Chain A
Amino acid sequence: MSAVAPILALRKATKKYAGVPAIEDVDFDLLPGEVHAIVGENGAGKSTLTKVMAGVVNLTSGEMLVEGRSVNAQTPTEARELGIAMVFQETSLVPTMTVAQNLYLGQERFFNRLRGIYIAAQQFMQSLQFDVNPTAVVSKLGAAQKQMVEIARAVLHNAKVIIFDEPTASLTPEEKKYFFDLIANLKKRGVSVIFISHALEEALQVSDRITILRDGKHVVTDETRKFDRARIVQAMVGRDLSQTLYGQRKTSVRPQGKRVLSVQNLRMAAMVKNNSLSVFAGQITGVFGLVGSGRTETFKVVAGVAKRDFMHGGEVLLNGRPVRYFVPAAAVRDGIVYVTEERKIEGFFETQSIAGNIYLGLLAKLRGQRTLVSKSEAATVGERWIKRLNIRAISQDVKAIELSGGNQQKVVIAKSLVQEPELIIFDEPTRGVDVGAISEIHQLINRLADEGKAVVVISSYLPEVLSLSDRILVQRMGKVVEEFSALEATEEKIMYAAIH
Chain B
Amino acid sequence: MIEALKQWTERVLGRGDAAISVPVLDGALKSNRLIEDAEVVAELEAPEDLVSDGSALFVADGARVLRFDGTAAPTVAHTFERTLSALACLPGGGLAIALAGREVRVVGGPHDGRRFDAADGKQLNAINALTAIANGRLLASDGSQAHPPERWKYDVMELGRSGRLIEFNLADGSARERAAGLAYAFGVGAVADDAAWVCESWRHRVVQVGGAQAGRVAQTGGASSGRAVVDGLPGYPSRIAPAAGGGWWLTCFTLRTQLVEFVLREPAFRKRMLKEIDPRYWIAPALTSGNTYLEPMQGAHLKTMGVVKPWAPPRSYGLVIRLDAQGLIRYSLHSRFDGKHHGIVAAVERDGWLYLLAKGPRRLLRLSIAAAQASLAAS
Contact = CB atoms under 8 A, between A and B. Distances in A.
A313 to B, nearest CB: 7
A314 B13 CA distance: 10
Contacts of A278: 23-24, 26-27
A488 B379 contact: yes
Interface stretch (B14-22, B300-308, B366-374): B14-22
Contact of B27 (A259, A313, A322, A488): A259
A256 B28 contact: yes
A442 B15 CA distance: 38
**Interface extent on A, as a size class?**
20 to 34
Nearest to A266: B21
A322 B10 CA distance: 13
Contacts of A4: none
Interface string B242-278: 0000000000000000100000000000000000000
A277 B26 contact: yes
A480 interface: yes
B19 A322 contact: yes
B309 to A, nearest CB: 13
B378 interface: yes
B15 A483 contact: no
B228 interface: yes
A315 B19 CA distance: 7
**Interface extent on B, as a size class?**
20 to 34
A259 B228 CA distance: 14
A110 interface: no
Nearest to B18: A312
A152 to B, nearest CB: 40
Contact of A313 (B14, B24, B26, B377): B14
Contacts of A483: 26-27, 30
B232 interface: yes
Contact of B21 (A259, A264, A277): A264
Interface in B1-39: 12-16, 19-24, 26-28, 30
Contacts, number: 66
A447 interface: no
Contacts of A310: 13
A276 B379 contact: no
Interface string A251-274: 000001111001111000000000
A89 interface: no
A473 B27 CA distance: 10
A239 B378 CA distance: 36
Given A258-B328, A278-B27, A488-B379, A324 B15 contact: yes
B120 interface: no
Contacts of B231: 320
B21 A315 contact: yes
Contact of A276 (B14, B24, B329): B24
Contacts of B26: 276-278, 473, 480, 483
A485 interface: yes
A317 interface: yes
Interface in A296-338: 310-315, 317, 320, 322, 324
A310 B19 CA distance: 12
A280 interface: yes
Nearest to B377: A487
A262 B232 contact: yes
A81 B40 CA distance: 80
Which secondary structure dominates chain A's binding surface? Answer: strand
A353 to B, nearest CB: 41
A471 interface: yes
A301 B27 CA distance: 21
Contacts of B19: 264-265, 312, 314-315, 322
A471 B27 contact: yes
A13 B106 CA distance: 96
B21 A257 contact: no
A259 B232 contact: yes
A276 B28 contact: no
A276 B23 contact: yes
A310 B16 CA distance: 12
Interface string A49-75: 000000000000000000000000000
B225 to A, nearest CB: 18
Contacts of B378: 487-488
A118 to B, nearest CB: 39
A257 B327 CA distance: 11
A488 B14 CA distance: 38
A421 to B, nearest CB: 20
Contacts of B22: 264-265, 276
Interface string A468-483: 0001010000001001
B326 to A, nearest CB: 8
A264 B13 contact: no
B177 to A, nearest CB: 27
Given A320-B228, A324-B15, A265 B21 contact: yes
B313 to A, nearest CB: 12
A485 B21 contact: no
Given A277-B24, A277-B26, A311 B232 contact: no
Interface in A272-295: 276-278, 280
A125 B265 CA distance: 50
B24 A264 contact: yes
A314 B21 contact: yes
Nearest to A258: B328
Contacts of A322: 16, 19
Contacts of A317: 232
A292 to B, nearest CB: 22
A278 B232 CA distance: 11
11 contacts: A262-B23, A262-B232, A264-B19, A265-B20, A265-B258, A280-B27, A314-B21, A320-B228, A483-B27, A485-B379, A487-B378
**Nearest 7 Cβ contacts at the A-B interface:** A312-B14, A276-B24, A264-B21, A265-B21, A315-B21, A315-B19, A320-B231
Interface of A: 256-259, 262-265, 276-278, 280, 310-315, 317, 320, 322, 324, 471, 473, 480, 483, 485, 487-488
Given A278-B23, A311-B12, A480-B26, 5 more contacts: A256-B28, A262-B232, A471-B27, A480-B24, A487-B377
